[in-house]
């Protein structure tokens, strides 16, 4: 598995499923891979009726892994228990959505499901391909770990409480209630949710104007800037330019952003540290500042940041 396989460019937009044209053809069927999703777990049965809430909206806060299955699929019955067990091990950092393709053909068509078992993820409403076929647990665990790194690079770092599917979910409150969370970040979060990264940058900057030491806003600003930069990049062209011009600082900055957004922070940091070594003056300082901003986006306490800071110091002095 390569990091490029997780890039969001060309991902499938699920917004067309926000309001299903018709009720689901059937409901209440047990998943063929291992029975109904258990109460108190992080596994949920998804239909067209609840797809918007349980997959699209939930994917803003945590990655949602989708297990496409059917009752006649024997490999699905081998894979699904592995997916469920690993999902519960991550304790709310991701959610598993089980979708019966026979009962939910519109979702299967939108996701371009050709054969099953098929496992994809959803981050901020966009499908990210994972793998096809029944894989052993060790390989599935690798995909889940990589998925969480990609989610973090895209600003999706939340957790969720266990999902009780035995009872219908009640509305969280009335329309007059204040939304949960810190109101200082509402504007920025709304902008991120709708994909307006420039507006998110401005909103985080406003928070920092009033509270320059706000750690959450610092991380949010760095991540929003990254997303704003990479959304218009062509990964193939940018990587080709970086390979052809190793001394071109701008080409290396773009490639480093793509590395970081794809979940490979170590590669991004190494690329920029090497660029610091090959540059001088204002150009070198620009690369250094860009690297510091990526440190901020990942979190200054991350072990990868500490390692890269040491490498940067060696390159500078």
In this predicted model, what pLDDT tens digit does every residue of 213-265 receive, in sequence order? 888 888 889 888 988 898 888 888 999 999 999 999 999 999 999 888 877 88
Q: Which pLDDT value is given to residue 262?
A: 75
CA distance 26 to 135: 29
| 22: pLDDT strictly greater than 80 | no
Catalytic residues: 73, 76
Percent of the chain with pLDDT over 90: 32
Q: Which pLDDT value is given to residue 181?
A: 60
Where do the domains of the chain lie, and which CATH numbers do they carry?
3-153 (3.40.30.10), 183-316 (1.25.40)
Four-residue CA torsion sign, 49, 53, 57, 58: negative
Q: pLDDT higher for 33 or 280?
A: 280
| 291: pLDDT strictly greater than 70 | yes
- Kindly report the pTM of this predicted structure: 0.46
Q: pLDDT higher for 182 or 283?
A: 283
For residue 44, what are the β-bridge partners? 97
User: What is the chain's mean pLDDT, rounded?
Assistant: 80
Q: Long-range pairs for 264-267 at CB < 8 Å and ≥24 separation?
A: 264/3, 264/149, 265/149, 265/153, 265/294, 265/298, 265/302, 265/304, 266/304, 266/308, 267/3
Res. 286 pLDDT band, cuts 50 70 90: very high
Q: Which pLDDT value is given to residue 1?
A: 37
């Amino acid at each position: 598995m390569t990091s490029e396989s997780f890039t969001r460019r060309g991902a499938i937009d699920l917004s067309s499923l926000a309001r299903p044209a018709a009720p689901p053809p059937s409901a209440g069927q047990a998943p063929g891979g291992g029975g109904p999703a258990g109460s108190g777990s992080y596994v949920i049965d998804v239909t067209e009726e609840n797809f918007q809430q349980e997959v699209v909206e939930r994917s803003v806060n945590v990655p949602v892994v989708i297990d496409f299955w059917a009752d006649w699929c024997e490999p699905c019955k081998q894979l699904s228990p592995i997916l469920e067990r690993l999902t519960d091990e991550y304790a709310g950092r991701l959610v598993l959505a089980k979708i019966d393709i026979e009962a939910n053909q519109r979702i299967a068509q939108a996701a371009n499901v050709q054969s099953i078992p098929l496992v994809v993820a959803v981050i901020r409403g966009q499908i990210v391909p994972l793998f096809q076929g029944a894989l052993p647990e060790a390989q599935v665990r690798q995909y889940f770990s990589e998925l969480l790194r990609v989610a973090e690079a895209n600003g999706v770092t939340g957790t969720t409480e266990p999902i009780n599917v035995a009872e219908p979910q009640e509305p969280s409150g009335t329309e007059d209630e204040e939304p949960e969370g810190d109101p200082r970040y509402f504007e920025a979060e709304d902008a991120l949710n709708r994909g307006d990264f420039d507006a998110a940058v401005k909103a985080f900057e406003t928070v920092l104007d009033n509270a320059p030491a706000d750690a959450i806003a610092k991380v949010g600003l760095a991540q929003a800037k990254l997303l704003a930069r990479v959304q218009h990049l062509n990964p193939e062209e940018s990587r080709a330019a970086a390979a052809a011009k190793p001394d071109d600082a701008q080409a290396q900055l773009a490639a480093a952003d793509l590395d970081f957004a794809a979940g490979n922070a170590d590669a991004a940091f190494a690329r920029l540290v090497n660029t610091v070594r090959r540059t001088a003056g204002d150009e070198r300082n620009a690369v250094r500042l860009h690297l510091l901003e990526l440190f901020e986006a990942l979190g200054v306490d991350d072990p990868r940041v500490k390692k890269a800071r040491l490498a940067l110091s060696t390159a500078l002095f």
